[in-house]
Amino acid sequence: MMVEAASSDLYSRAEKAARAIRSHTAAEARIALVLGSGLGGFAEEFEDSISLPYREIPGFVSSTAQGHAGSLVIGKVEGIPVLAMQGRVHYYEGYSLEEVTFPIRTFKLLGIDTLILTNAAGGVDVELSQGALMVISDHLNLMGANPLRGPNDERFGPRFPDMSEVYSRELQELAIEEARSLGVTLRRGIYAGLAGPSYETPAEIHMLRAFGADAVGMSTVPEAIVARHMGMKVLGISCITNMAAGISETPINHDEVMETGQRVRETFTQLLRRVIAKAPQ
């Protein structure tokens, strides 16, 4: 009985959050975005937009990370209704993975079936240069935890969801095709998600390369797992904002991450606009 109560409580809280968001808009969005470090400015370009601070949405927790505005923006891109998290919350901020992924649960109950996850990441593959974009083909969950641990509510998804295609191949192809039309190289790669908040050591990066990782970061993986648990199509795109420890001799700092995100913002937003316009509805 306790297990059932806990799982149904999550569902009811997500329903409450969805009702709160619906009270501010009549638009029926099918696409949601999570905008990572330095990339939140895209939401400021939405047409007919409104912005809801996370603190005003029941169940949402506030972002404390630099470069994450902590607002849900509702609007249109190329005339298509969308929702966007202008910044995310992270496991390293001290939140549980249930809190980190709660917005994704809410999106599903709002009718969202396509989720676009963006992030700032460190380059592990030496062929990825600073400022490059990478579409995520798969991930390594090295956070030491799984957001599906604990009671499972079948209304969200099955107890043991298949993860053989977390990131939609169809959406990967679309993103690569649209990047090509912009004259931008968008290669596929594997994203390794670690807990943070410390950056990785050179030894850890050496290990990640041996594991097959191309990029590394501190987000995205829990959101993608929860989205697939609920049957959502997921597209992940990383902006390589710095080269990982041991690849670059320069110490890593968050200001560099933010600066690179700003530098590639125009290219990134053009790509997102094209993907949203052509994504299956």
- List 63, 71, 119, 242, catalytic entry: 242
- List 11, 165, 254, 256, catalytic entry: 254
- List 29, 65, 120, 224, catalytic entry: 120
Respond yes or no: is residue 37 known to be catalytic.
yes
- List 14, 90, 200, 224, catalytic entry: 90
By the 8 A CB rule, do 29 and 110 touch?
Answer: yes
- List 218, 230, 232, 243, catalytic entry: 218
Respond yes or no: is residue 14 known to be catalytic.
no
Helix axis angle, 97-109 to 221-229, nearest 10° = 40
Sign of CA dihedral 105, 120, 218, 56: negative
Tracing tokens 């990782």 back to the chain, one arrives at: 213
Sign of CA dihedral 183, 187, 188, 194: negative
Respond yes or no: is residue 92 known to be catalytic.
yes
Nearest to 36 by CA among 228, 215, 280: 215
User: Bridge-partner residues for 234, per DSSP?
Assistant: 115
- List 44, 92, 95, 248, catalytic entry: 92
Respond yes or no: is residue 44 known to be catalytic.
no
Helix axis angle, 169-181 to 265-278, nearest 10° = 130
- List 93, 178, 200, 223, catalytic entry: 93
- List 152, 219, 223, 227, catalytic entry: 219
Respond yes or no: is residue 24 known to be catalytic.
no
- List 18, 32, 37, 179, catalytic entry: 37
Q: Beta strands of the chain (E only): which ranges?
A: 31-35, 47-53, 71-77, 80-86, 114-123, 133-142, 186-194, 215-217, 233-243
User: Who contacts 82 (Cβ-Cβ below 8 Å, separation ≥6)?
Assistant: 29, 31, 32, 33, 46, 74, 75, 76, 276
Nearest to 281 by CA among 15, 49, 78: 78
Sign of CA dihedral 157, 163, 164, 170: positive
Respond yes or no: is residue 68 known to be catalytic.
yes
Respond yes or no: is residue 248 known to be catalytic.
no
User: Annotated active-site positions, please?
Assistant: 37, 68, 90, 92-93, 120, 218-219, 242, 254
